Amino acid sequence: MKIGTDIIQISRIDTLLNKYGETFKTRFLLPEEIKALKKTESIAGYWAAKEAISKALECGIGANLSFHDIIISKNKRGAPVFKLTEDAQKRHKIKSASLSISHDGGFAIAVVALTQ
């Protein structure tokens, strides 16, 4: 089992949204994710989640895994889940995974546990 975590100050995301707007969102979110996210806290949580996933995969965001290779959504109970694009899944071979996202006190945090 591998674990990844990331924490980000929500005000950092707010600053980037104010400066770059939709361009910032499209840099790391897919259209369906943008449509689902209304609050800055949630956007920050998705940022932290994608970073945490890249850390659990031990590759970071870069040549082996892009922000757009990670697709985050909610299950029927409203809990966050993720999958990788078909090409990224072939490279990283995730067998099972769990994702948790939370925000409080001006920070968003995500934790990922996965097996390959």
Positions marked catalytic: 55, 103
| CB proximity list for 72: less than 8 A, separation 6 or greater | 33, 46, 49, 50, 80, 81, 82, 99
Quick count: other Cβ atoms within 10 Å of Cβ 104?
9
DSSP state for residue 69 in the 8-state scheme: G
Q: Contacts for 41-44 with beta carbons within 8 Å, 24 or more apart?
A: 41/10, 41/103, 41/108, 42/103, 43/13, 43/17, 44/8, 44/9, 44/10, 44/12, 44/13, 44/103, 44/108
